[in-house]
Structures are given as C-alpha cells and as structure tokens.
C-alpha cells in the first residue's frame, strides 16, 4: 500500500484548500445564468421548447399580449393547438362545443380564432357585431370539405321529412341547410333531443361517418343515416395500433376520439370528445394513458398532470399547425383576416347552432 510522507500530505491538503477557495471565488463572481423572459409561461412549455428557442417565442407572446390590450381582443384556442399557443396567448381553451359556448359570452371587440376556419365562422355566427380574425385562411378541415350545401339539399330530396343534424366541423353554408348542429361532445344528446322533439326515429347525421357509427351504438332506437366524411387525423388509427400500444406499454389506459373508426373505439377503454378525455384524465388519474387523437392534445393535457405518463402516438393535424404565434401576431397587427358571412346564410346557420346550444 502506497503511503504519503508528512510533507506530501501537507502539500496535498494545501492544494485541496486552494482549489476549494478558488472554486468559491469563481462561483461568487461568475455571471448569473440569464433569466428567461416570461419565465412563468416558459415553465408550462419547457418540455416542448428549448431555452434557446424561447426568447424569440417570448417576443411574439409579449407583442400579442400588448395587441390584445390595445384591440380589446381575446384568443380562443382549440385543444389541438401547439403548446406554445395553447399555454401562452390563448385566453379561452377547449373543444369545439366549449369554444362555441364561450364565443357567446366573451367581453371583447375582437375574437382571434386559434383553430380552423369553421371554428372562426361559428364564432362569427354567434357574434355578428364583433370582429372575428382568422390568422390563416388556409387552415381548413377535411371533414368540412367533405360536404357542401348542395349535397344536403339533394339528401333532403331523397329523405323527405328526415331532420338533418350536422357536425360543427362544417361550413356556414352547410349549417344553413341543417336543422341542428352537434359536436363530438354532445352528439348523442342532440340526436335524442331531435328524435323526441320531431317525433321521428330516422335522422341524417352528417358528415362524419365514423362519428355517426359510434353514436349509433349509443342510440340503437334511432336510425342514423351517415355521410362518407372522415377526419384525416383520426381515420389513420387502426385497431392494431391500439393492440401494439397495450403490448409495448403495459397497463396503459386508452382514450379514443369518436371520430376514430368504430373498430378503434371498440379497443379503447373510453371514447369521448377532447374535453371528455381531459376530464377523464383529471378525474381518474391513470398512471399511464394514451389519447388516440391529434398529438398536441396530449401535450396540453400533460402540462397539468406531471405525475401521469402520457404515451404519444403522434398524428398531427396539418390544418391546426398552420396557426402559429407569428400568424396570430400578424392578424392582430393588421386586423386580418376578418371572417365575413353572407347575412342570408348567417341567419339560418346561426339558428342551427343556437338550437344545439339550447340543449342542456
């Protein structure tokens, strides 16, 4: 065993002491780590945005907040928005039904829709005197584009006397040809209400084929006549995807959106709207969960549930991704693009939406 002499031990002790003193001095006089701007907001998105990216994002956030004050504006953010929008500038967040309800009550002169075009139209229908801005007019929806007003008129000829319930994921022109609207969160309730009020057992439920098929299982006493529209995000999920997730992530709880194919929903532990999924996570607190829907949804729900493991099968909505912080900022700076609806169309479309909102 190697032994140090008394002199060598003394020298070693002195060197250690010098290093410790030097480290203490260096620490005391080292420049402090730079403080991130809007640190309280960065904490909410830190899993998705790097510290290097944040200062540029923060500049847009600060500009948007200033413009909101100047314009007396609010930003409505759908659950599928990117975390850096959903968790920073969005004043009201939720699914299509929640945003439709909130749009009626907002105390603002300007509404900015951080969502897709049909959502901005719905906000305008319910707030005809307010300015509604759509940051990117190309942010459409595969479901909304799957059916036209002319299609509904032809269906009415083929099914005379059968009421028409359309998903809110449709244009104002399509809503104007409809009797009621519905969302994924209230579809079964709306269908039952219409059947009871109209005294019928057949309803045209448009345009989402999979939503109609999934709701049909909840209302077997009513015949639902469906269209062939599909959500390009949800139609890509398969039953094998669910089985693979369960095999690779033992114990995972599977929550599916009703826009998914019925075979996918059958494999899930729960099916519901994005708001329903968020409520399930909050109330049931599963240790491990997967949301079978647009992947930003899991990112946004996870912010409030750091102790839950979220498995993320990522299907992005290309239309939702068109909305960005720079496009929201530009919309408020230039007051574009303003959503306008032909008054003759708006009056009829508004009625279908208001009938839906009146159902409790």
d(CA 360, CA 348): 21
Is 260 labelled as part of a ligand binding site?
no
Give the sign of the dihedral formed by CA 74, CA 77, CA 83, CA 87: positive
DSSP 3-state of 58: helix
Is 5 labelled as part of a ligand binding site?
no
Radius of gyration, CA atoms only, the chain: 26
CA distances from 310 to 283, 288, 297, 342 (A): 15, 6, 11, 44
Is 315 labelled as part of a ligand binding site?
no
Is 257 labelled as part of a ligand binding site?
yes
d(CA 23, CA 38): 32
Take residue 156 and report the two structure tokens written for it.
Answer: 């009415």
Phi-psi region of 140 (alpha: psi -120 to 50; beta: other; left: phi over 0): beta
Is 353 labelled as part of a ligand binding site?
no
Give the sign of the dihedral formed by CA 275, CA 280, CA 282, CA 287: negative
Is 141 labelled as part of a ligand binding site?
yes
Which residue in 343, 303, 294, 360 sits closest to 116, CA to CA? 294
Is 259 labelled as part of a ligand binding site?
yes
Q: How far from each other are the two terminal CA atoms of the chain, in whole angstroms?
A: 84
Question: Which residues participate in the annotated binding site for [4Fe-4S] cluster?
Answer: 141, 231, 317
Question: Which residues participate in the annotated binding site for iminosuccinate?
Answer: 78, 96, 167-169, 184, 257-259, 274
Question: Which residues participate in the annotated binding site?
Answer: 78, 96, 141, 167-169, 184, 231, 257-259, 274, 317
């Amino acid at each position: 065993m190697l032994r140090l002499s008394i002199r060598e031990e003394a020298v070693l002790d002195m060197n250690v002491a010098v290093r410790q003193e030097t480290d203490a001095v260096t620490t005391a006089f080292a420049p402090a780590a730079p403080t991130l701007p809007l640190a309280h907001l960065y904490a909410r998105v830190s899993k998705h945005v790097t510290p290097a990216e944040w200062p540029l994002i923060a500049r847009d956030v600060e500009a948007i907040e200033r413009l909101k004050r100047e314009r007396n504006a609010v930003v409505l953010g759908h659950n599928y928005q990117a975390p850096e929008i959903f968790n920073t500038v969005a004043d009201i967040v939720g699914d299509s039904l929640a945003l439709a309800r909130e749009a009626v009550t907002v105390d603002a002169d300007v509404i900015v829709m951080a969502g897709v075009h049909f959502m901005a139209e719905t906000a305008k229908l319910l707030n005809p005197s307010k300015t509604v801005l759509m940051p990117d007019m190309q942010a459409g929806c595969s479901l909304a584009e799957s059916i036209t007003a002319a299609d509904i008129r032809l269906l009415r000829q083929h099914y005379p006397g059968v009421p028409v319930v359309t998903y809110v994921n449709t244009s104002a022109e399509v809503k104007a040809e409809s009797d009621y609207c519905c969302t994924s969160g209230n579809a079964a309730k709306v269908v039952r209400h219409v059947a009871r009020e109209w005294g019928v057992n057949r309803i045209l439920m448009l345009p989402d084929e999979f939503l109609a098929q999934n709701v049909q299982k909840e209302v077997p006493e009513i015949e639902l006549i469906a269209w062939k529209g599909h959500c390009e995000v949800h139609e890509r999920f398969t039953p094998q995807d669910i089985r693979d997730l369960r095999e690779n992530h033992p114990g995972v709880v599977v929550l599916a959106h009703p826009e998914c194919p019925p075979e996918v929903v059958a494999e899930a532990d729960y099916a519901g709207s994005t708001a329903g999924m968020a409520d399930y996570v909050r109330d049931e607190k599963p240790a491990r969960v997967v949301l079978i829907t647009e992947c930003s949804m899991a990112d946004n729900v996870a912010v409030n549930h750091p102790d839950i493991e979220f498995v993320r099968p990522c299907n992005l909505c290309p239309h939702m991704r068109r909305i960005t912080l720079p496009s929201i900022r530009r919309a408020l700076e230039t007051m574009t693009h303003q959503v306008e609806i032909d008054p003759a169309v708006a009056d009829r479309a508004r009625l279908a939406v208001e009938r839906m909102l009146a159902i409790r």
